[in-house]
Amino acid sequence: MQKVFISFGYPICIISVLSASIFLLENGYTELEVLLFGAISSIFFTVIGEIFIPLFKDWRPSLKENFFPDASLFVLNYIVFQSQLLQIFLASIAMKFSGGGFDLWPSGLNIYVQLVFALIIAEFGLYWFHRGCHEIPFLWRFHRIHHNPKRLYWFNATRFHYVDVTLLQVCGIVPLLILGADAKIISLVTIFSTVHGFWQHVNAEQDQKILNYFFSGPELHRWHHNLKSEVANHNYGNNLIIWDHVFKTFYWPKHNNEQLRSVGVKGNFSNNIKSMTLDPFKG
Ligand SMILES: [Zn+2]
């Protein structure tokens, strides 16, 4: 059972949750309801993995350093400030500047084929914004909050500064809007990102083999959180790893050594919600 989880838990969970999400969206459930279903399903499986087959036992989250700061950022970003609404607002402004979009989206194709196209196209915007966060000091101030923790676990997936998570999602959505993709496709990309994000940060043994050449899963993403910036400045993919191949930032040494265990950012940073939210604006 453990071997099945290690090799196939990630693709089975993502494919089955996405298939169920397509069914639910086509049968009248709202995007928010389906998103909640996807998030809860993904959290359930990743937490099970972390309990029974943790990769590193010392990555188990501490309440004070991990869970409470992550939960407070989650409440602030997604419940109080509703980052999803700001994303839609910013995307609609971007649409005005782009002339309202083109009617180029292949909406007659099978929904799964459309989703694959959408993930590849959205990933282009996600890749370059994420890479910009690591290469442009002003953006790094906001993105550093995601990299500060010295441990990885499922809840790192939503640990972002409000500015960072909002602009990231806008950069993913805008290319789809410009091409004329409809709301259902954009919802499915958002659901995929949510379900995938919890797996991407999971502290459970994983062995995805050939899938690591296509998806930005946990085995690759752990290196992106490495303490050494020359190692961490790779694998910028959010869902797919395709653009890292194109722009030569793919990194997979295929071993889980002690260097993998060292994640975070050099220096000490506050986990206080007020500091995390306001300090990036001060420099
Ligand atoms: Zn990053």
What is the Å distance from ligand 1's center to 51 Cα?
26
Confidence of residue 141 (pLDDT cuts 50, 70, 90): very high
Tokens 């389906």 belong to residue? 34
Q: What is the pLDDT averaged over residues 204-222?
A: 95
* DSSP assigned state of 155: G
* pLDDT tens, residue by residue, 142-193: 999 999 999 999 999 999 999 999 899 889 988 998 888 888 888 899 899 9
Number of domains comprising the chain: 1
What is the Å distance from ligand 1's center to 111 Cα?
30
Is the pLDDT at 222 greater than 60? The verdict is yes
Buried b (16+ CB within 10 A) or exposed e, 53-75: bbbbeebebeeeebeebbebbbe
Q: Count the neighbouring beta carbons within 10 Å of the beta carbon of residue 111.
A: 13
Distances (CA, A) of 186 to 27, 95, 156: 17, 14, 23
The fraction of the chain above a pLDDT of 90, given in percent, is: 67
What pLDDT score does 98 carry?
59
Q: What's the chain's average pLDDT?
A: 90
* pLDDT tens, residue by residue, 87-119: 666 766 766 665 566 778 888 999 999 999 999
Is the pLDDT at 84 greater than 80? The verdict is no
Is the pLDDT at 255 greater than 90? The verdict is no
Q: What is the pLDDT averaged over residues 41-49?
A: 96
Is the pLDDT at 257 greater than 60? The verdict is yes
| pTM for this model (two decimals) | 0.92
Distance CA 188, CA 112 (A): 10
**Domain, as residue range, for 57:** 2-281
* pLDDT tens, residue by residue, 116-139: 999 999 999 999 999 999 999 999
Confidence of residue 202 (pLDDT cuts 50, 70, 90): very high
What is the Å distance from ligand 1's center to 224 Cα?
6
What is the Å distance from ligand 1's center to 277 Cα?
17
What is the Å distance from ligand 1's center to 152 Cα?
13
